[in-house]
Amino acid sequence: MRETLKIGTLKWQNILKPDDEDLKYLKNTYHFHPLDIEDCRSVNQRPKIDIYDDYYFLILHFPSYDSKNTFLQTKEVKIFWGKDYIITLENTDWTVTKMFNEAKNQEERKEKFEVQTSDRLLYLFLERLMTESLLLIRKIGSELEYLHRELFSKRAKNTIGEISITRKNIILLNTLFKPQLRLFHKFEAGTIGGFTEKMEIYWGNILDYYQKMWDMTEDYEDLIEGLSKTFDSLQTNRINEIMKVLTLVSSILLPLTFITGLYGMNVGLPFQGNPNSFWIVIGAMILIAGGMIAMFKSNKWM
């Protein structure tokens, strides 16, 4: 679905779920490079920016939660950026499409647009995407704080599942952000000049956003590794304590089981003819058990 919005001399076209007809229109109308058109046919291409004399072509990736709000997934937006036009392509109704609908509603209300250049409009795209991604990363940080508090609780089964989900999400953030860091450095370095003067400070702000998200992701990656190791250590200690208790119980019961088994045999045994033999054996067993418990305590085994 292709929609067009005019903002003064600037034209913004948004294409949601582009098909062959849309791509043929782009090729015939704007004469974009065939490789860029081919990239628009594919999903989840590697993030990149192609620089031409009269336009730029960007493929950008940003994180988003799935429908169950549990796992992160990669959202892709493709942008053709020219002097007097911006063309955005998305395969799902996501951030840029929502921004387009907001701008269309603003036009219907006959409100004035503050954006008059393609560079400024691209900056608004990037700023919105960065802001939403930053909120998402901060949510991951809140989950890590919750896991840190729950780490020493008895909800071990639930905690390990939550740690695994958070760890998977952080790995996706890492693999998503790392390839694009070099791309955004090109904006501030001047490799990508754009079509408007004095945009350097804006591109620097975008890089600051991205660098902040990357730093937070690296910090969270270290934190989740630490939480995982701490959780494994706690679980190992708990298992060791359980095995220790079971071993002590087995050690106490072993001689008692031997005595009861011995007296269950059809052979002559001491005190067999004594009418109080039962209580004598019980008393001996109690003394043995008490002696073993006292020995364990004296050696600080329990």
Q: Of 95, 126, 119, 90, give the one whose Cα is nearest residue 13.
A: 90
Mean pLDDT of 71-92: 93
> Residue 182: what pLDDT?
87
> Residue 229: what pLDDT?
86
> Residue 154: what pLDDT?
63
User: Domains in the chain, please, with CATH?
Assistant: 2-236 (3.30.460.20), 250-298 (1.20.58.340)
Q: Decide if pLDDT at 45 tops 80.
A: no
Measured between alpha carbons, how far apart are the two ends of the chain, in Å? 73
Report the C-alpha gap between 94 and 219 in whole angstroms. 28
Burial 69-108 (b: 16+ CB within 10 A, else e): eeebeebbbbbbbbeebbbbbbbeebbbbebbeebeeeee
Condensed to tens digits (0 to 9), the pLDDT of residues 105-142 reads: 988 888 888 788 999 999 999 999 999 999 999 999 99
pTM: 0.78
Mean pLDDT taken over the chain:
87
Q: Of 178, 135, 143, give the one whose Cα is nearest residue 164.
A: 143
Cβ atoms of 196 and 120 within 8 Å: the answer is yes
Mean pLDDT of 72-86: 94
> Residue 279: what pLDDT?
79
Condensed to tens digits (0 to 9), the pLDDT of residues 136-160 reads: 999 999 999 888 888 777 666 678 8
> Residue 301: what pLDDT?
73
Report the C-alpha gap between 234 and 241 in whole angstroms. 11
Q: Decide if pLDDT at 272 tops 80.
A: no
**In terms of C-beta distances under 8 Å and separation of at least 24 residues, what long-range contacts does 219-224 make, across chains too?**
220/137, 220/140, 220/141, 220/144, 220/170, 220/173, 221/170, 221/171, 221/174, 223/144, 224/144, 224/163, 224/166, 224/167, 224/170
**At CA 143, angle to CA 240 and CA 205, rounded to 5?**
140
> Residue 83: what pLDDT?
92
Q: Decide if pLDDT at 271 tops 80.
A: no
